[in-house]
Structure 1
Amino acid sequence: MRIVIVLLLAACALAGLQTWRIGGLHDEADQAQRIIGTLSAGIESRDNAIHRLNDDAVTRERQEQTLRAQLSQAGQRARDREVHLQRLLNENQEIRDWYATPLPDGIGRMHARSAFASAADYLRWLSGGNQLPDTGKRTGH
């Protein structure tokens, strides 16, 4: 009878040990599931970011194409305007004379300014007192 009791106690101890090990395995499985969930969320977030970046790249490419087309059109308009101006200059002596006349000093100074390295340089230049002549005075023209 003692052997049966010892075997029964040994079986209970072995069952308790297995239950404890199974509980530990369940905890490890739960922890692994949490890690998998975190990693899956990270992968999904990365995939969403890649998708957004691809969409942005496509949008920027379309915008670049639009800007290039606008630049081409603006260049063509500038060339057409230059051709038209040259045609007018070639056709009309009065326009040629007007075009060749130098600008008054004040207007010339408005168009002439030094190169600026920064916005602060430009602001200093503006507030430096580069005054134009009084508009009430007559110039050479």
Structure 2
Amino acid sequence: MEVIVKSLISALFVGALGLVIYVQYNGLKEAQGRIKDAEQATRDRDGTIKTLKAAADRDKKATAKLQGERNSIAATLTERENLIDNLQHENATIRSWADAPLPDAIARLRERPAATGAAAYAERLPSGDALPAAGSSPQD
């Protein structure tokens, strides 16, 4: 009887050990799967970061280029304004032309505020018949 008990205990021990090994093996497989998923997520994140850095570099270069163009335009504008001022001071004909009042139609254009969007532009339009959409026939 003692042999049977020892055999049963040994069998239970081997079974429990097998169960522990099986659970550990499945846990290891799941952990390896999570590791692969995490590695893929890291690669995807690194790719996104690389793409965003490249886009930021392009934007920075474009901004620098636009700033250079803006500075060049500002310098040209200053030059031309100075030239116009000099011409007005030196030439009586240009000075009298510059001092003359603007025609009424042009003066009215200068009185209107700038349209800051489609809604502001639409508010200033007369409320008559709207133009037909392109390609549609006019309604009678």
Using the size of structure 2 for normalisation, the TM-score is: 0.76
Deviation string 1:67-124 (CA, Å, 9 cap, x unpaired) is: 1111110000001111221222222211111111111111211222035565312221
The CA deviation at 1:19 is 1.9
- Label 1:126 to 1:93 Cα distance change in 2 as closer, same or farther (>3 A): same
Higher relative contact order (CA 8 A, sep 6+): 1
Give the RMSD, CA atoms, in angstroms.
2.3
Q: Structure 2 CA distance, aligned partners of 1:92 and 1:115?
A: 33
Partner of 1:135: none
The CA deviation at 1:13 is 3.6
Indicate the SS of the match to 1:127. coil
Alignment-mate amino acid for residue 81 of structure 1: R
Partner of 1:15: 14
66-75 vs 85-94, which deviates more?
85-94
Q: Structure 1 CA distance, aligned partners of 2:92 and 2:114?
A: 36
Deviation string 1:32-75 (CA, Å, 9 cap, x unpaired) is: 11111222222222222222222222222111111111111000
Alignment-mate amino acid for residue 74 of structure 2: G
Alignment-mate amino acid for residue 99 of structure 1: A
Partner of 1:137: none
- The answer as to 2:40 corresponding to 1:48 is no
Q: Structure 2 CA distance, aligned partners of 1:42 and 1:63?
A: 31
How many matched pairs?
128
What is the identity percentage for the equivalent residue pairs of Structure 1 and Structure 2? Answer: 28
